[in-house]
Structure 1
């Protein structure tokens, strides 16, 4: 069957978005937080332990990775959160939906993945889980409250990958620690969803449904070594001697 020009253009657009997503998602997959899949999934659920102390009191403990580690993960997932970026999670998901539009099972998976993404990442989306932080000052008589998604967003876009002054001003009364505590499960959940979508794309690619280049899944996306050793020829010339015009041009004999 020959596709019309509109369909061909649409397929090319979707394929380009999938290629951009695969490169970014593989970089997310290569992050140290994703080395232990079970631990990453657990982190996405904001784990904590509660120890009863009696008299109606309980000790609650949460232990997360170092901020620097989560910060580097946040930098890797940030483009997936931005719908305007080429590698946006939602753009990639829509592209999968396009190629699988005649496959009911895949269409249902895409729909469920989109709903989960919105619930976890959109600060204004309704949801049943999460928590609310309320603070106040008896002496000055002020109160404030924010939910975990807005606190997490403030850490990502205020403390880390941008310096959004509006977000920081709103979340500042809660402190850096509270913002970070809220952000860790969000960053982990975005990593989980991105890697799950990446694996889904891999399966569809194996079934020859997407037409993606095979090298896309093999090309280098992270550095495994930051030590460089090279053997090279050394040339010396008087100051002012012009450099070669390009890499294939010989050095001047003068």
Structure 2
């Protein structure tokens, strides 16, 4: 739930129709008066897709606790006596395998074939392998085997292959999340409220608190925890405080009484 909610908070998911459109290979072909044919595809910025892939990564890995198929397995157990829900789980499992982990190159959607005019060497790679080369060779890891496999095809072909995979993994994850929410509302699942309410993504990255600030010369004994009084030689920062010499600064936010140290 928590990782899926973080995926749901990603900017790509803000426009659902646009996200779904990215799961499909949409190509425009224009025939120019000169006889030249222009083939065009448009994608989100690579950095946007990269951050989405990072949020998805644990859901893609079968060794991770929140792997998509593990979540489906758990859901299937709780729905084992509910025929319609069991069918939904089976369909979701099959579509995930086809879209995210195809077993054959033919299921991947397309192949890219290249030829080196100097050496005469021919190479081909399917969309799924190109996508894996981008995700694990360029983005979340530096997997040398995958990187070398996709190297000859260039960064853009690897990225192009990854777009529909990442987009559909987001769609599948969010659909599963909403299905779990519906089962919770129907009483089939009993989820802890914090799983539904805990903040999973930052809307603002400005850090600001009200509180008191104390300072002391560098080398002064620091506080050992947030609940006891400050050691001696710590003074509260006021308008007349002299900070011209190196000092340690500590903040005590009024809401949580936590300490932050700055040399």
Instruction: Give the structure-1-normalised TM-score.
Output: 0.86
Q: 1:185-204, aligned counterparts within 5 Å? A: 185-204=164-183
The structure where helix makes up a greater share of residues is: 1
1:217 corresponds to which residue? 196
Rounded Cα–Cα distance in structure 2 between residues aligned with 1:137 and 1:126? 22
The answer to whether the 8 A contact 2:102-2:108 is kept is no
Rounded Cα–Cα distance in structure 1 between residues aligned with 2:199 and 2:146? 35
Is 2:134 the partner of 1:155? yes
Compute the displacement of 1:209 (Å).
1.3
Rounded Cα–Cα distance in structure 2 between residues aligned with 1:50 and 1:236? 66
The answer to whether the 8 A contact 1:23-1:216 is kept is yes
Equivalent residue in structure 2 for 1:33, among 12, 16, 32: 12
2:245 corresponds to which residue? none
2:100 corresponds to which residue? 121
Equivalent residue in structure 2 for 1:59, among 38, 63, 69: 38
Aligned CA RMSD, in angstroms, stands at 1.9
The answer to whether the 8 A contact 1:70-1:187 is kept is yes
Rounded Cα–Cα distance in structure 1 between residues aligned with 2:59 and 2:91? 18
Is 2:103 the partner of 1:103? no
Is 2:114 the partner of 1:135? yes
Is 2:55 the partner of 1:76? yes
The structure with more radius of gyration = 2
Instruction: Name stretches of at least 5 consecutive residues in structure 2 with no aligned partner.
Output: 234-263
Rounded Cα–Cα distance in structure 1 between residues aligned with 2:181 and 2:22? 25
1:18 corresponds to which residue? none
1:21-41: CA deviation from partner (whole Å, max 9, x where unpaired): x11111111111111000100
- Name which structure has the greater RCO, CA cutoff 8 Å, separation 6+: 1
Evaluate the alpha carbon distance shift between residue 54 and residue 130 of structure 1 in structure 2; reply closer, same or farther with a 3 A threshold: farther
Compute the displacement of 1:128 (Å).
4.5
Instruction: Name stretches of at least 5 consecutive residues in structure 1 with no aligned partner.
Output: 1-21
The answer to whether the 8 A contact 1:118-1:125 is kept is no
2:228 corresponds to which residue? 249
Rounded Cα–Cα distance in structure 2 between residues aligned with 1:154 and 1:138? 24
1:66-125: CA deviation from partner (whole Å, max 9, x where unpaired): 111111111111110001111111111111101001111111111111111111122534
Q: What secondary structure, in the 3-state scheme, does the structure 2 residue paired with 1:235 have?
A: strand
Compute the displacement of 1:182 (Å).
0.6
